[in-house]
Amino acid sequence: MDTATTRMRPALFATFFALLPACAPPPFPEDHLPIYEERPVEVSFEESYNRVWDETLGVLGDSWPVDRVDKEAGKITTEWVIGQSDYIFNQFGGTRIPEKVRFRMSILVDASKGKTRVTVKNREQVEKDIISADLTFTGSIYEWIDVPSSCRKERQLLEDVAAALGKKARTAELDLRSR
């Protein structure tokens, strides 16, 4: 090998490694996920703590598998539930397909000043592959990534509790809001 080729080799390697990041595919547009933020939704009822607790637990038991129940602390937690996103979609050939998500509800029931408040927090995650989501490999090709909830599931749960209590589920009447 001549000395000119030997001298050019480091320059070729430097050029190759400088262009290597340019070869990586750009992230998919659907992979720009919203940043996680907690979005609790709450409602106050002019009912006894025990009645609101019982109706909330009954509505949850009808809809989702309950994981933990602590009546003294006023806390109920569901197991992870697999479903579809309300607002995150993949697009294939002009068709919007909802992303696969899993979610876990945490409900707090507490009484003060003659009212019983029910606060619902939803921890929602979307499953992404590490390549398109630009994640570090940790032993699995797919990982669950926290995303903010659309609050639809939480609102529906509170509307169902209101209906079980014999209340109309109108937002103004129930002071239903997300913080």
pLDDT tens readout for residues 16-38: 444 444 444 444 444 566 676 77
Across residues 136-140, what is the average pLDDT? Answer: 74
- Give the chain's domain count: 1
| Alpha-carbon gap, residue 74 to 110, rounded angstroms | 6
Across residues 110-125, what is the average pLDDT? Answer: 93
- Token digits of residue 74: 């006023």
In-domain check, residue 24: no
Half-sphere exposure of residue 126: CA atoms within 13 angstroms, side-chain side: 25
Model confidence, pTM: 0.72
- Kindly report the CATH number assigned to the domain that includes residue 169: 3.30.530.50
What's the angle, vertex CA 179, arms to CA 85 and CA 34, rounded to 5? Answer: 35
Q: Residue 93's domain spans which residues?
A: 39-178
> What are the angstrom distances between the C-alpha of 65 and each of 11, 22, 132, 135, 138?
61, 47, 32, 31, 29
pLDDT tens readout for residues 146-177: 888 889 999 999 999 999 998 864 443 444 44
